[in-house]
Amino acid sequence: MKNSKPLKIILFISGLLLIVIGSAILFIPIDFSARNGIELSGNISLLNDTRAAGASLLASGLVILLGAFIQKLTYASVIISIIAYLSYGFGRLLSMVVDGVPAEGLIKATVVEIIIGFMSVFALYKFRTKK
């Protein structure tokens, strides 16, 4: 991928956001989820599943962030960003259609996820090197 400042900014924001969200889900899942009316306390299996998802987001965010600084990781970081953000965003949209409208915070998260996902798609096509 081409070395460009806009690409690095996209990866930096994408990675940092996943690191923050993933860390919150991993380390303070009860408080983090309660902000959107989600009750996790008392359900050990749900907490276990939630923390696992948080760890996955945190790890993905770290790789994406590293891609902003390490050229050999840039392409993989863009792909991971696309997969992480668009799968969450479209998964939430599907849930809205099937299950109904969630809390306002989750709607906002959906919008942000889809925007960052498409920014990453844009970055893939704009900054890839042609062979």
**Mean pLDDT, to the nearest integer, of 88-115?**
98
Helix axes 5-27, 71-99, angle to 10 degrees: 60
pLDDT > 90? residue 79: yes
pLDDT > 90? residue 28: yes
Percent of the chain with pLDDT over 90: 94
